[in-house]
A and B are shown apart, each in its own frame.
Chain A
Amino acid sequence: MKKALLFIIIFTICPLTAATAGSNNNDYPAYPPKILSSELFPCSSCHAGMEPNILKRELTFHGEVKIIGHAEHERWCLDCHDARDRDKLRLINGSTVGFDRLFRLCGQCHGPTYRAWRAGVHGKRTGRWDGQKQYYLCSSCHDPHSPRFKALAPEPPPVRPGETIRN
């Protein structure tokens, strides 16, 4: 019952906000971000009852999160994660976006890359060249905390001509 009500509210409000914001959630349909399937999600399950601590410090939790090669000296978690609503990301202008739209966050500091991504040049899209495409989010290739693209093991080289019948 509650869910149904929520549904109706979302459906009536969304088109309005989308129209005013000048963009909607379908303009860059993307694969879901990893965080949505994390066991820590929703983040608010803990953080809703916690006072946010804006001080840059060594954390006693989230030890696996290390900011490396992403301007760590100037950076702190809450430049990206919203202090009040931990299920959202925070933009420089103070507004928030969901993790499924995290490219808006990255795009603030990586403008040219973001533009190329939208045009389908940076990053990747699958689907149809003549229609509906699905975008890979920035975070499918770059860990937001240590964004350098990680080296991969290559697939095996071809067999040499001597090792088989020539082709």
Chain B
Amino acid sequence: MKKRFSRRDFIKITAVGAGAAVIPGCSNTITWEEFFQTNFKEMSPQEIKHLLAGLEEKYTKEYGVKFTVKATPAREGVVFGYALDLSRCIGCRRCVYACVKENNPSRDVQIQWIRVLRMKKGEFNLEESEHYYDPDKVPEDGYFYVPVQCQQCENPPCVKACPVKATWKDPDGITVIDYNWCIGCRFCMAACPYRARKFNWTKPLIPKDEMNTDTHYLGNRPRMKGVVEKCTFCVQRSRDGRYPACVEACPVGARKFGNLLDKESEIRYILENFRTFRLKEDLNTQPKFFYFFSLGWG
């Protein structure tokens, strides 16, 4: 395998004791300064401000469009929850593409954070589902559809698997990734039972006019080669009080989102009035992503 030095190689080499001599040629990925930054969670507000300003300048220069990079923290008294009404979902994939448009994933090598699984009515089997279905019209007779994305577990196995603490669960329940800190070992991907995490095998290519320049440090800012990414409930929108892009794109209104701690929220209404369930409940990952049928089965 031929590739440039990355943070990952650097860490490998330092581990063997030869590191001091190696200066990774990673100017196309992250800067010297970013490379030696402290863990994001331990940064002072001043350091964060400096980091964000640097990134804004870098992206603006690199992509030729003006970027904003924010790091809005979790709000006190907020834990996000999501619910998806399987009696409504028609499998149209509008959510998949709204997510792509919002979150700047790689286009040339396709990365999508939402997978829509098609299942036979009367069965619920994740392993036997199909996500390449392509009929003229949806919904199709005899099938129902189950979109899957990061389930924002209360007890996230991916976080435990990360050897360098580059991914963690914030107080509002969103599991985030610091791309500058990620070493690309992909242990988190192996640990995720929902296949929610995606790896950038190449530097993502995104046409300039498709770039969303309103970004969050822990969310949709441009990624580099060799890092893992996933759904963050659109942290750049949700922490500003807005709905995630997939919620607003759904033509049947199957996607519901809100604050689990707010008794008046639609998400609480659903949890209190419908029988909800979560994927692979037996694993005790405790997702904050719920599924329900607002009508009887099928």
Contacts and interface: CB of A to CB of B under 8 A. Distances in A.
B253 A123 contact: yes
B135 interface: yes
Interface stretch (A4-12, A50-58, A154-162): A154-162
B269 A154 contact: no
A127 B247 CA distance: 10
- Chain B interface, >50% SS class: loop
Contacts of A156: 93, 134
Nearest to A159: B110
A121 B94 contact: no
Contacts of A160: 132
A131 B96 contact: no
A151 B201 contact: no
B178 to A, nearest CB: 20
B199 interface: yes
A164 interface: yes
Contact of A121 (B85, B134, B242): B85
Contact of B269 (A120, A128, A158): A120
Interface string B126-141: 0000011111111100
Nearest to B265: A129
Interface string B79-92: 00000010000111
A130 B260 CA distance: 11
B243 A116 contact: no
Q: How large is the interface on A (under 10, 10 to 19, 20 to 34, 35 or more residues)?
A: 20 to 34
Contact of A154 (B91, B106, B259, B266): B91
Interface string A119-156: 11111111111110000100001000000010111111
Interface residues of B, number: 49
B137 A152 contact: yes
Interface string B226-264: 000000000000100111000110111100111100000
B294 interface: yes
A92 interface: no
A115 B153 CA distance: 31
B138 A167 contact: no
A166 interface: yes
B250 A124 contact: yes
B270 interface: yes
Interface in A3-53: none
Contacts of B259: 129-130
Interface of A: 116, 119-131, 136, 141, 149, 151-160, 164-167
Interface of B: 85, 90-94, 96-97, 106, 109-112, 115, 131-139, 198-202, 238, 241-243, 247-248, 250-253, 256-259, 265-266, 269-270, 273-274, 294
| Interchain residue pairs A-B with the least CB separation, the first 4 | A124-B253, A120-B266, A155-B93, A151-B137
